Amino acid sequence: MKVEPIAWDLAKSVAEKTISYSHAALPEAELESLQSEFNEIGKKAEKIVKKETGLKPSGKAVCQVVTRASWVEANISSLRNLMSLGQGKAKRSQLFGKALNPATSAAAGIELGLMLAWLSTKVLGQYDMAIGAAQAGDTVYFVAENILAVEDEYKFDKGQFRLWVAIHELTHRSQFRGVAWMNNYFEDLIKRSMSLATLTLDDLLAGLRRSIAALATGNNPLAEHGLVGLFVSGEHMDALRQAQALMSVVEGHSDVIMDRAAGENIKDAKLFSDTLHARRQAGSGPAKFIRQMTGMEAKAAQYKKGEEFIYHIESVGGQKVMDKIWDSPTALPTIEEIAQPDLWVNRVLGK
C-alpha cells in the first residue's frame, strides 16, 4: 500500500472536528444570502479592478462563499496537487526514503489539520488558481464566518467592507489571469520549490545548527522565511527568495490598487486597513509563534515592503513605470530591489 507524505483524509477530519468543536455552523439560509450578495459585489469589484490596473483577465471571476470547513477542504485539495508536483523527487529523497511510513504520514496529517483549522479562522478572502490540478481553477473564496465575525466585532459597514475585501482578491486574479506569462512562471517557481522534497537528513541537521547559531547571536531564525527557511540554502534558497519577491510585489500592488480604488468607492477603507493591522499585531504569544513558524509574520513585513516598492517606482514615472513589472519575468524585482527600489529603477529603466 502506497504511503503518502501526509495522511490527507486524516488532516481533513482533524480540521473539521477542531472547527466544529469551537464554532457553531452557520445556517444554510445565511450562507445562501451571503453568496447572492457576493455574486453582485464580485461583478462590481471586477469592474473597479480592471479600471485601476488596466489588466484584462480572461473569463469571469467565480466568487464563492465558503465555510471554514469547506475552505480547509479546498486548501487540502490544492496542497495535495502541489505536493504531487514534487513526488518524483520525493521518491529519490534520502529523507523520505528513511522516514516515510504510516506513523509519520498520520502525524503530518494531524499537524496539517490543526494548522489549517487555525488558519481557517483568520482568512477573509483567497484567490485560488489550483496550480497542479488537472483543470486550473479560477475561484475567489470568501470565508463567511470570518467576514461576519469581523463586521460584527468592529461594527463595519457591511457593503463597504465586503467590497474592500473583494477588490483585494480580484486584483490577485487580474495579476495571474491578466499577465500572459504569470501562470507559467509561478508554476515553475512552485515546481522548483517542491525540490525541497529532496532534502536529506544532513540538510536538516545543518539547518538546525544554523538556527541555533542565529539564536545565540540574538536573532530570530523564523523571522525572514518562517519554518522552511531553517532548512534551505543554495539553490533551494534562491527559489524561495524568488517566490517571496513575486508574492511581495503582487501583494504590494494589490494593496496599492485597493487603496486607490477605495478612494473613490470605499470611504472607510483606511479604517478597515488600520483596524485589521492592529488586530494582527495584538495577537497572543502562541498566535505570534504560529505566525512566525508558518512564515506569516515574515510575509506581512515583505508585503509592506512590496507596497512601499510600488509607491516608490510609481513616484519615479507614474503608472506606466509601475506597469513595467508585468513586462516579463526578468522585469520582476528581486528581494534586494524591493528593499532598495532605486536598484530596480536603475536596472529596468536605466536611470
Q: What are 260's three cell numbers?
A: 486607490
Provide the mean pLDDT of the chain: 80
Q: What is the pLDDT of residues 76-131, one digit of tens each?
A: 988 887 777 655 544 444 444 555 678 878 888 888 888 889 889 989 999 987 56
The length of the chain in residues reads 351
Residue 305's closest CA among 330, 339, 342, 337? 339
pLDDT score, position 148: 97
- Residue 322 or residue 326, greater confidence: 326
Percentage of the residues of the chain whose pLDDT score is greater than 90: 41
191 pLDDT more than 70? yes
The mean pLDDT of 152-161, rounded to a whole number, is 96
Q: What is the pLDDT of residues 236-265, one digit of tens each?
A: 667 777 888 898 899 899 988 888 887 778
- Residue 28 or residue 287, greater confidence: 28
Backbone phi and psi for residue 136, each to the nearest 5 degrees, phi listed first: -60, 130
Any idea of the CA torsion for 174, 125, 185, 108, to the nearest 10 degrees?
A: -170
The mean pLDDT of 148-164, rounded to a whole number, is 96
Sheet holding 62-66, edge to edge: 62-66, 139-143, 125-128
Q: How far apart are CA 179 and CA 186, in angstroms?
A: 11
SS3 content of the chain, % helix, strand, coil (to 5): 75, 5, 25
Q: Are 345 and 316 in contact (CB under 8 A)?
A: yes
At residue 127, the 3 state secondary structure works out as strand
At residue 136, the 3 state secondary structure works out as coil
Q: How far apart are CA 140 and CA 137, in angstroms?
A: 9
pLDDT score, position 238: 74
Residue pointed to by grid coordinates 481533513: 12
pLDDT score, position 225: 45
Q: Which pLDDT band, with edges at 50, 70 and 90, does 138 fall under?
A: confident
Q: How far apart are CA 145 and CA 167, in angstroms?
A: 19
Residue 310's closest CA among 266, 259, 241, 243? 259
Q: What are 242's three cell numbers?
A: 524568488
Q: What are 104's three cell numbers?
A: 509519520
Residue 253's closest CA among 159, 329, 151, 338? 338
Dihedral angle sign, alpha carbons of residues 212, 213, 216, 222:
negative
Q: What domains are defined for the chain?
A: 1-176 (1.20.150.30), 199-351 (no CATH)
At residue 66, the 3 state secondary structure works out as strand
Ranges 45-54, 136-145, 156-165, 307-316: which has the least confidence: 136-145
Dihedral angle sign, alpha carbons of residues 308, 310, 311, 315:
positive
302 pLDDT more than 60? yes
